[in-house]
Amino acid sequence: MTNCFAITGILALANPAESMDIANSWFGVASYLIAVALFILSLKWLSHPRTARRGVRAGEIGMVVAVVGTLLIFQAVSYKLIFLGMVIGSLIGAPMAVWMPMTAVPQRTALSHAFGALAAALVGTAHYYWLFHDRNIDHFTMGVLAMEVLLGSLTFTGSCVAFGKLQELIPSSIKSLPQQNAINFSLLGAAILIGIWLTVAPLSYVLFPILILLGLTFGIFLVMPIGGADMPTVISLLNSYAGLSASLMGFVLNNYLLIVAGALDGSSGLILSIIMCRAMNRSFTNVLFGRMGAVSAASADDVYGGKVKSCTPEDVAAMLDGVRRVVVVPGYGMAVAQAQHAVRELFNLLEERGTDVEFAIHPVAGRMPGHMNVLLAEADIPYDKLKEMDEINPSFAQTDVVIVIGANDVVNPVANTDPKSPIAGMPILNVGEARTVVVVKRSLSPGFAGIPNPLFAADNTLMLFEDGKKAVTEIVAAMKAAP
C-alpha cells in the first residue's frame, strides 16, 4: 500500500532504529502532497495580478504544512536548535522584507539567492560528513552531493558578488583579467575533476573542502567581470542554480518535496534567463563568458556632431499641452534618480488633461526582470498602463510625444541598422517613429554597450540634460504654471 505513493520514499531513509509512529508518517506523507499541490497552485495563481496575492498565501501555507510535516516525520531532531534557527532566520528575513525600499529589490533578490545557495551548500556538507562518519557513501549519492555542493557554493559567492555590484559596493564594470576565460574554465574544470574523483572514491574526504573552495572561487570569478546591464540574466541564472541545488538535495535525501520545489524554482529561473537573453539577442555563453568586445561603432563625434538639440523643461511642458498620446520609456536611470514618484505626478497631470499616457517596458530595462514594473506600481501607476515591448511597438507611430527617462541601449536604433554593432539584432523600442522624442539624460555618455545612440541626434529628438527626478518635477511645475 505504501508503495502506491512514490512520495513514501521519504520514509525509506528514516533511521530503521527509530520506531516510527505510523500515524505521524502518514501525516507526513499527506503534508508533503498538500505542500506540493499548494506550491504549484501558488505559481499558477501568480500568473495574473488579480489572483497573485492568493498565490502568495498558498505558498505560505504550503511551506508551513511542509515544515510541520517534516518535524513530524523526523522526530529525532533537536527541536530547540531548529526553533532557534527559525527565530534567527525570521529576525534577519523580516527586516529584509519590511524596510527594503523597492529600488533595492534587485540587491535583495541577489542576497536571497545567496542565502538559498548557502543553505544547500551547508546541508550538503553536513550530509557528506555524516555519511563519511558511517563509511556509507555510494557513488551515485556522492556524485549528486558533489554537484549540489559545487552549485551551492558557486551560486553563493556569485550571488554575493551580484549583490555587491547592485549595491554599488563593487564597481559595476570591472575590466576582465587578460586570461579571464582561461582562468574561469580551469577553475570549473578543476572543480569538476575533483567532483568526479570524489564520485569514484567517496571517502577521500580531503577533497571535499577543496571542492567547496573551488566552487566559491569560481563563483566570484564568474560574476565579477559581468556588467550591470547583464544583471537581469545573471540573477535569473543564479535563481535557476539555487533551485537546481535544492532539487539535487531531494535526490540524495529521497525527498520528493525537495525535488519538486527545487525543479519549480529551477525552471522559473531558466525561463527568465531565456527571456532576458532573447531580449538582448545574446546567448547564455555570451553573457557569461563573452565580454563586450572592442567597439566598432561610429565615434560619438560623427554621430552627434552639431546635430543634438537640447531643450528646457518649459519647452517640454509647452509641447505636452493638448497632445493626445504620450508614451514614457523608463530605464535604469529612472531607478537611480528615484524619479518614479515625479513621473507619477506627470502621469496624473496629463491624464487629468485628457492625454492618454502609457509606459513602454523593455524586458531588460533595469537590473532584474520586471524591475521597472515594480517601481512604477510602487509609484501608484495602474498596471494596465504598463505595456510590454511587443504590445506597444506598433503604436509609436501614433504617439505625439515619447519621453525617455534614463534608458539608452534599449532605444538605440543601431540595433536594427548596424549588423556589426555590439547590440545588433537586439529588439528595441522603436521610439523614433513617434512625432517627437524627449530624452531625459544627464549627458551624452554612452549606455552599457558603450556606443553612441543616433536617436539623440535624430531630427525629431530633443535632449533634456538633467537628472531624471529634477527634470520631470520641473516639467510638471512648468505645466501647472502655464495658463
Partner 1 sequence: MTGLEPKLFVFLLSTFLGLEVIRRVSPLLHTPLMSLTNAISAISVVAAIQVMAEGHLLTGGYSAFNKTLCTLGVIAATTNIVGGFWITDRMLKMFRRETRDRD
Q: Are 66 and 38 in contact (CB under 8 A)?
A: no
Sheet holding 386-388, edge to edge: 386-388, 356-361, 325-330, 401-405, 436-441, 461-465
Q: How far apart are CA 297 and CA 413, in angstroms?
A: 13
- Touching partner 1, residues 124-143 (CB under 8 A): 125-127, 129-130, 133, 138, 140
Contacts to partner 1 from residues 415-444, by CB under 8 A: none
- Assess 2 for contact with partner 1 (CB under 8 A): no
- The single residue among 29, 123, 428, 438 that binds partner 1, judged by CB under 8 A, is 123
Beta carbon nearer to partner 1, 230 or 466: 230
Gap between the Cα atoms of 451 and 457, Å rounded? 13
- The least CB distance from residue 68 to partner 1, in Å, is 11
Supply angle C-alpha 371, 372, 375, rounded to 5: 90
In whole angstroms, the minimum distance from the beta carbon of 17 to partner 1 comes to 7
Residue 185 is a binding residue for partner 1 (CB under 8 A): no
**According to CB under 8 A, which one of 225, 369, 454, 468 is a site residue for partner 1?**
369
Q: Of these residues, 409, 418, 459, 467, which one is catalytic?
A: 409
Q: Report in angstroms the alpha-carbon separations of 259 from 154, 267, 271.
A: 20, 12, 18
Q: Build a one-symbol-per-residue string for 391-410: x at contacts with partner 1 by CB under 8 A, - elsewhere.
A: --------------------
Shortest Cβ distance from residue 121 to partner 1 (Å)? 9
Partners of 403 in the β-ladder: 328, 438
The binding track of 197-236 with respect to partner 1, each residue x by CB under 8 A or -, is --------------------------------------xx
Nearest 5 degrees, angle CA 427-CA 433-CA 437? Answer: 100
Of the candidate residues 20, 122, 295, 458, the single one contacting partner 1 (CB under 8 A): 122
**Helix residue spans in 337-446 (DSSP H):** 340-352, 371-378, 389-392, 414-417
Minimum CB distance to partner 1, residue 75 (Å): 7
Instruction: Look up residue 191 and give its amino acid.
Output: A
Q: Which of 270, 300, 311, 478 binds partner 1 (CB under 8 A)?
A: 270
Q: Smallest distance, Å, CB 28 to partner 1?
A: 11
**Contact between 254 and partner 1 per CB under 8 A:** yes
Q: What are phi and psi of 339, to 5 degrees?
A: -90, 0
| Site membership for partner 1, residue 476 (CB under 8 A) | no
Tell me how far apart the alpha carbons of residues 239 and 215 are, in angstroms, rounded to a whole number: 16
Q: Which three cell numbers stand for residue 38?
A: 499548494
Which is nearer to partner 1, 93 or 305 (by Cβ)? 93
Cβ 7 to partner 1 shortest distance, Å: 9
Determine if residue 373 is left, alpha or beta; phi over 0 gives left, psi from -120 to 50 gives alpha, anything else beta.
Answer: alpha
- How far apart are alpha carbons 104 and 18 in whole angstroms? 47
Q: Find the binding residues for partner 1 in span 35-54 (CB under 8 A).
A: 39-40, 42-44, 46-49, 52-53
400 catalytic? Reply is no
- Residues annotated catalytic, as ranges: 409
